[in-house]
A and B are shown apart, each in its own frame.
Chain A
């Protein structure tokens, strides 16, 4: 890792500012460590980094991923069968930094492996490995106080979620608690590519914006096609593509890179 790279919340701020300056939103692809195997997952992430994506959501496999659809379930199951542990995921982040990947990396995982590892030990080791923050789909802000404090101590971001079902009270709560960005779930459902974005997405994002102030919004769930990417450019500060890339990942780093190229943001150039 070069000395110039800032880390954690600061790195995310820099990322969003750079995208904004180019009149576009930031692209954060999701890819799980260990799929199709450990080495290949690193090759995919490295290849994506070279295409100039803005950041990453790095998937940590869990046996019971209840917020994920079938594609990510199958991929992370395969990763577990390959022996991918939380420790291996941290090693992967460290290795990617050594290989020159500079973009912010958000680690996405479920609560139980973090608890088993030890929350304090995990935030410390994640920081040391070069991660920038955490995304935990089964951790709402009501349960997140301890983890949030530990992240704050290390300067790591902890993104909380909002969904179309969130009330204005919850939007305010999440805006207050989230650090780095708010992960806005585009639809009521689990992860997975969809052919169309929800019709009322604009209204939903506007409803969130009214309460979220300056906290960046990153949209995820269902985004899988260049038209989707085009549609969200003016709407949100960033977007995540997961299942579509994971499906491409089955065919190797080159196929994933090619899809990512098509999903790159096109700003007001």
Chain B
């Protein structure tokens, strides 16, 4: 079975991971969330649904994705042996497809023919458009106009895949505003529409459901690293925007207490600059709050208004973080740090040159932490890094950032 439901008793029936989570949404959506929760549990219990998802993952997505030993990187850093979980090799180039396919199958099972999705970097939009094309669903993707400008190739991909891309001009014109618009669409068209949420956030059951659909990453990686490295990793590292690739990796290792779990947020221009998306790193700005239906850490000003975030990677540029991450941090099961734009850019180049793998800028944040941490670890230590996506979509951003450095 690919989805392990509720294996650690979180969230509770109200969708809480400890103090975090819940359902802070307009009344109109409450019945839809109940319906979705029921449908999701029914799907989990349905072996046919599970088999269908597993078959699509194998024959379409290309799962299992490989685990690659990064020999030259490990050697150069002179410490831990670094293994990369290759979600960049999944169809559409990122882990987002795992969740998008799961939710699209669920939409189909629920008889909903219209799917709305939000996207930041464009990866969830592409994944949703792909899954919708595969299953014959109508797909509408909300995307901030700032993100549209910096992720052109993905916008074109979505259109090729038959999706309707709707520019969002409100607020900061990025991911958070795209989510607002997607929720407004869902409120308006709730009877006919399935909201495919792209990360482990939002109202219950989304954080749980997205985690479960992404948990295939950790389940595969755990088996692969036991086989290839002969042991469990000492540490698992993943980048955290909303946090779906990280929670998908971490979930399988939750009970392995000797395995450290490290989430890497976007440090932007540095936490001191105030221009970042490191919700956990900056206690003046990152505080307990409610955004997009869930209670978690939210970047806000002293009046409780959500502040604009900054990251070189659109996929990490989000002012809140999935509630389960807030819970893992509070319970000290996971540790959270950050990498700056510059560190991510350096890591992207290093990995490209030493391993022939161009990571997404999001994933490069995890690689940056690996580069910092590996030299401090003994040579027999094992490190598992989630390479959540490939960097093709980021080439324009990387070219101009590198040109800016030279200039």
Evaluate contact between B26 and A137: CB separation under 8 angstroms.
Answer: yes
The answer, yes or no, to whether A149 is at the interface (CB within 8 Å) is no
Say whether B190 contacts A188, CB under 8 Å: yes
Tell me if A63 is interfacial: C-beta within 8 Å of chain B.
yes
Q: Is the interface of B mostly helix, strand, loop or mixed?
A: mixed
Q: Find out whether the CB atom of A64 lies under 8 angstroms from the CB atom of B176.
A: yes
Counting chain A CB atoms within 10 Å of each CB, which of B24, B171, B180 scores highest?
B24
Question: For residues 188 through 215 of chain B, which have their beta carbon under 8 Å from a beta carbon of chain A?
Answer: 188-191
B180: chain A residues within 8 A (beta carbon): 64-66
Give the residues from 300 to 322 in chain B that come closer than 8 angstroms, CB to CB, to chain A.
Answer: 300, 302-306
B32 within 8 A of A: yes
Q: Which of A15-23, A113-121, A196-204 lies at the binding interface?
A: A113-121
**B95 lies within 8 A of chain A by Cβ:** no
Contact with B along A112-141 (1 / 0, CB 8 A): 111111000000000000000000011110
Considering the chains assembled together, what is the distance between the CA atoms of A61 and B344 in angstroms?
36
The yes or no answer to A166 lying at the interface (CB within 8 A) is yes
B187, A80: Cβ atoms closer than 8 Å:
no
Find out whether the CB atom of A170 lies under 8 angstroms from the CB atom of B183. Answer: no
Do B188 and A111 touch across chains, with their CB atoms under 8 A apart?
no
Known: A64-B176, A112-B291, A188-B187. A170 touches B31 (CB 8 A): yes
The answer to whether B22 touches A189, judged by C-beta atoms less than 8 angstroms apart, is no
A167 to chain B, nearest CB (A): 6
Do residues A138 and B171 form an inter-chain contact, with CB atoms below 8 A?
no
Nearest-neighbour CB distance to chain B for A194, whole angstroms, equals 11
Q: Is A172 an interface residue (CB 8 A)?
A: no
A166 touches B25 (CB 8 A): no
Interface residues of B in 251-300 (CB under 8 A from A): 287-293, 298, 300
Q: When the two chains form the complex, which single residue of A110, A170, A190 contacts B187, counting CB atoms closer than 8 Å?
A: A190
**B304 near A112: Cβ-Cβ < 8 Å:** yes
A62 to B290, CA, bound (A): 12
- The verdict on A114 contacting B26 (CB below 8 Å), with A66-B180, A166-B31 known, is no
Does the CB pair A64–B28 fall under 8 Å?
Answer: no
**Docked-complex contact B27 and A143, CB < 8 angstroms:** no
Q: Which of B15-42 contact A (CB under 8 A)?
A: 22-32
Q: Which residue of the partner chain, among B25, B177, B188, B302, contacts A189 with CB atoms under 8 Å?
A: B188
Say which residue of B23, B30, B293 sits within 8 Å of A170 (CB atoms): B30
How far is A138 from B304 in the complex, measured between Cα atoms in Å?
A: 15
Contacts of B303 in A (CB 8 A): 85-87, 113, 116
Q: Is B170 an interface residue (CB 8 A)?
A: yes
Q: Which residues of B contact A (CB under 8 A)?
A: 14, 22-32, 170-171, 176-177, 180, 183-184, 187-191, 287-293, 298, 300, 302-306
Given A66-B292, A138-B290, the answer on whether A113 and B188 have CB atoms closer than 8 Å is no
- Minimal beta-carbon separation of B227 from chain A (angstroms): 45
Q: Which residue of B lies closest to A70 (CB)?
A: B170
Residue of B171, B184, B289 near A190 (CB, 8 A) is B184
| 6 closest cross-chain pairs (CB), A and B | A116-B304, A113-B304, A161-B27, A163-B28, A189-B188, A111-B290
Chain A residue with minimal CB distance to B184?
Answer: A190
**Which B residues touch A189, using CB under 8 A?**
28, 187-188
A-B contact sample (7 more), CB < 8 A, given A64-B171, A112-B300, A163-B28: A64-B306, A115-B290, A116-B300, A140-B24, A142-B14, A161-B28, A165-B31
A113–B289 Cα distance when bound, in Å, is: 8
With contact pairs A77-B171, A112-B300, A114-B304 given, residues A143 and B190 touching in the complex (Cβ less than 8 Å): no
Question: In this assembly, does A156 line the interface, its C-beta being within 8 Å of a C-beta of chain B?
Answer: no
CB distance from B205 to the nearest CB of A (A): 14
Chain A residue numbers with a CB within 8 Å of B305 are 62-63, 80, 112-113
User: Given A64-B180, A189-B187 in contact, is the A140-B304 Cβ separation under 8 Å?
Assistant: no
For the complex formed, measure the closest distance between the CB of A163 and the CB atoms of chain B, giving whole angstroms. 4
Instruction: Name the residue of chain A whose CB is nearest to the CB of B293.
Output: A138
20 chain-A/chain-B pairs, Cβ below 8 angstroms: A64-B176, A64-B180, A65-B180, A66-B183, A66-B292, A67-B184, A80-B305, A87-B303, A112-B289, A112-B290, A112-B298, A112-B304, A112-B305, A116-B289, A138-B293, A140-B23, A165-B29, A188-B28, A189-B28, A189-B187
| A140 with B188, Cβ < 8 A, contacts A77-B171, A111-B290, A115-B290 known | no
In the assembly, what is the distance between CA of A100 and CA of B293, in Å? 38
Contacting residues of chain A (162-217) with chain B, CB-CB under 8 angstroms = 162-167, 170, 174, 185, 188-190
Query: In the complex, which residues of chain B have a beta carbon less than 8 angstroms from the beta carbon of A77?
Result: 170-171
Residues of A within 8 A of B28 (CB): 161, 163-165, 185, 188-189
Q: Assuming the A-B contacts A115-B290, A116-B289, A142-B14, are A160 and B27 also in contact, with contact meaning beta carbons closer than 8 angstroms in the complex?
A: yes
Q: Which of B22, B29, B293, B302 has the most chain A CB atoms inside 10 A of its CB? A: B29
A73 at the interface (CB under 8 A from B): yes
Q: How far, in whole Å, are A212 and B27 apart by their CA atoms in the complex? A: 16
Counting chain A CB atoms within 10 Å of each CB, the highest count among B23, B32, B305, B306 belongs to B305
Query: Cβ of A142: which chain B residues have Cβ within 8 Å of it?
Result: 14, 22-23, 30
Known A87-B303, A114-B304, A116-B304: A185·B292 in contact at CB below 8 Å? no
Q: Hey, which chain B residues are within 8 Å of A65, CB to CB? A: 180
A111:B24 contact, CB within 8 angstroms: yes
In the complex, chain B residues whose CB is within 8 Å of the CB of A137? 26
Tell me the complex Cα distance, A28–B24, Å: 25
Residues in A45-67 with C-beta less than 8 Å from chain B: 62-67
Which B residues are CB-close (under 8 A) to A174? 27
- B203 shortest CB reach to chain A, Å: 9
A229-257 interface bits toward B, Cβ cutoff 8 Å, 1 = contact, 0 = none? 00000000000000000000000000000
Query: Within the complex, what minimum Cβ distance (angstroms) separates B279 from chain A?
Result: 14
Complex Cα distance, B31 from A174, in Å, reads 13
Do A66 and B289 contact each other (CB < 8 Å), given the known contacts A77-B171, A165-B190? no
